Amino acid sequence: MRSRYSAYVLANVAYLQATWHPDTRPSSRALEDQERVQWLGLQVMRHENSDDSHAIVEFVARYKINGRAHRLHEVSRFVCEQGRWIYLDGVVEKPR
């Protein structure tokens, strides 16, 4: 999760693509076309392994777009394939 966050900070689309499951991965163009985001921090809330090849990570990422602060709270699913953990998908938690 931390490496993917760093890739977002650095706008490393190639790394994001390489660590995203092919069944759910957006096009590189979709990732490149996102608004310019100023990432401010990542807090991993929990990590749970379901088994040897499935895990979830709950995190909060803070960022700004055009000077306005936002936060992304997500529970992400990861799967281990060929010894590498890759992002499958996630559910964004709604603010309370």
Q: Which CATH number does the domain housing residue 48 bear?
A: 3.10.450.50
User: Can you give the pLDDT at residue 95?
Assistant: 75
Domain that holds residue 75: 2-92
Q: What is the pLDDT of residue 74?
A: 97
**Partners of 72 in beta bridges:** 61
The pLDDT of residue 28 is 80
Please give the pLDDT value at position 33: 66
pLDDT < 70: residue spans in the chain: 33, 35, 96
Query: Domain total for the chain?
Result: 1
The C-alpha angle 48, 51, 53, rounded to 5 degrees, equals 100
Q: Which pLDDT belongs to residue 31?
A: 79
Q: Which of 24, 18, 17, 37 is nearest to 82 (CA)?
A: 18
